Amino acid sequence: MNLDHLEIVLVRPETPRNVGSVARACKNFGVGRICIVGSEGILEDGWAKATAHGSEGLLERARLVGSLEEALGPHSFAVGTANRVRKGKLPPLELPHEVLPDLGHATRSGTCAIVFGPESRGLTDLDLACCARLMRIPTAVDQPSLNLSQAVLVALQECWRFAQGWTMAVPPIPSKKPGLEHTSPADGNLEAPPTFSEFDLLLGRVETLMAKAGFRPYADDPETFRLAARRSLSRGRFERRDLRTFLTMIKTLERLPDRE
């Protein structure tokens, strides 16, 4: 796992102290990227820097965006965190050791995100639907929820242990080409995978073709259909050559005459 390619995404955090503690946890375990969705002005509160304890630089470099879609745009893989899932169409909740092999594989060639929700209610079903996989941090039954910064700390420790090889998780599938295990896009040897933004462009063209063919999404809800389709493409093994193949197919179909 390449921790340099991992970003912690905080969706609408409510407590400046927690944001500062998240920065401290990130520095403890070698993760240098934080993105904050919404919560305008939360970093201006003095408690954010006070609880960062030597990690103020991460707060200063944090990305501030207005939506989760914008936060995930540059990434190729995203893991949402939750204690329970209420909507049957969402991916199943998995334990860290089940998610980390694919997350680790995805960070070898592209950037990835672990997404956390606000302290009072967690991620919404729509937020979770934006993620390729969902992860639950196991706790005792009588106290199932964790404080935001605690949840980030535990998740990052799991990632760090996996990166060190100190985990019971099944190791990621080795590269077919020797010598690529520790490469990154900057090395020029391993092609970066498609990002969520590129998937959205691809799906936009697919939806246009489907609409011409008379397709109507269930309950006239195109957003749910798009999120489900994007999850199918972004499970961590979709390569850029696959994207080019799909684009070739779409370009061919776009040349067909319109239906009369």
3-17 tens-digit pLDDT? 999 999 999 999 999
Residue 189 covered by a domain: no
Average of pLDDT values for 203-220? 78
Average of pLDDT values for 78-101? 85
83 and 174, same domain (yes or no): yes
Which of 130, 147, 180 delimits the end of a domain?
180
Per-residue pLDDT band for 173 (boundaries 50, 70, 90) equals very low
Residues facing residue 78 across a β-bridge = 113
| CATH number (domain holding residue 96) | 3.40.1280.10
The DSSP output letter for 112 is E
- Comparing 196 with 24, the larger pLDDT belongs to 24
- Comparing 22 with 179, the larger pLDDT belongs to 22
Backbone angles phi, psi at 135, to 5 degrees: -125, 140
111 and 223, same domain (yes or no): no
52 and 174, same domain (yes or no): yes
Per-residue pLDDT band for 23 (boundaries 50, 70, 90) equals very high
88 and 173, same domain (yes or no): yes
Give the closest residue to 227 by CA, choosing from 1, 107, 72.
72
| Domain tally, the chain | 2
How crowded is the C-beta side of 206, counted as CA atoms within 13 Å? 18
pLDDT at 172: 46
174 and 213, same domain (yes or no): no
pLDDT for residue 30 is more than 90: yes
pLDDT at 192: 74
Give the closest residue to 28 by CA, choosing from 60, 2, 64, 3.
3
Residue 105 covered by a domain: yes
**What is each CA distance from 226 to 49, 132, 174, in whole angstroms?**
38, 12, 31
Residues facing residue 79 across a β-bridge = 114, 133
Q: Mean pLDDT, the chain, as a whole number? A: 83
C-beta separation of 82 from 122 below 8 A: yes
Contacts 24+ apart (CB under 8 A), 183-186: 183/108, 183/109, 184/2, 184/4, 184/5, 184/108, 184/109, 185/109, 185/110
The CA distance from 103 to 2, in Å, is 10
| Range(s) of the domain holding residue 41 | 3-180
